[in-house]
Amino acid sequence: MQFAISDKVEWTSQAGGWTRTKRGTVGIRIPTGCLPRDYITEWMADSHLLGGICETVMPRNHDSYLVSVPANGKGKPTLYWPRVSNLRAVEAKS
């Protein structure tokens, strides 16, 4: 599945016995064989918490996406690198 920059997406993640649905905006396309850290700009590193992205990850064998999830309240958004197979397009509310 392919997405464009600024598409709204959601996915379900599971950790520590909890399942959560996250919803955000596609911010960057990561090409096949590349790592997110090569595409995170200085501004993003300062402006986002890098949830779900660690330095020891392996490159993926397909295009993938960094997704920005807004914080509840006034906090900064969090950047995630979800599995593309888990992403679903979300209809924009009018």
Q: What is the pLDDT of residues 5-55, one digit of tens each?
A: 999 999 998 889 999 999 999 999 999 999 888 887 765 665 556 665 666
Secondary structure of the chain as H, E, C letters = CCCCCCCEEEEEEEECCEEEEEEEEEEEEECCCCCHHHCCCHHHHHHCECCCCCCCCCCCCCCEEEEEECCCCCCCCEEECCCHHHCEECCCCC
- Over residues 71-84, the mean pLDDT reads 85
Domain locations in the chain as residue ranges: 8-89
pLDDT score for 51: 60
Which pLDDT does position 35 carry in this prediction?
Answer: 87
* pLDDT at residue 39 in the model: 82
Edge-to-edge, what's the strand order for the sheet holding 18-30?
78-80, 64-69, 18-30, 8-15, 88-89
Pairwise CA distance, residues 31 & 2, whole Å: 12
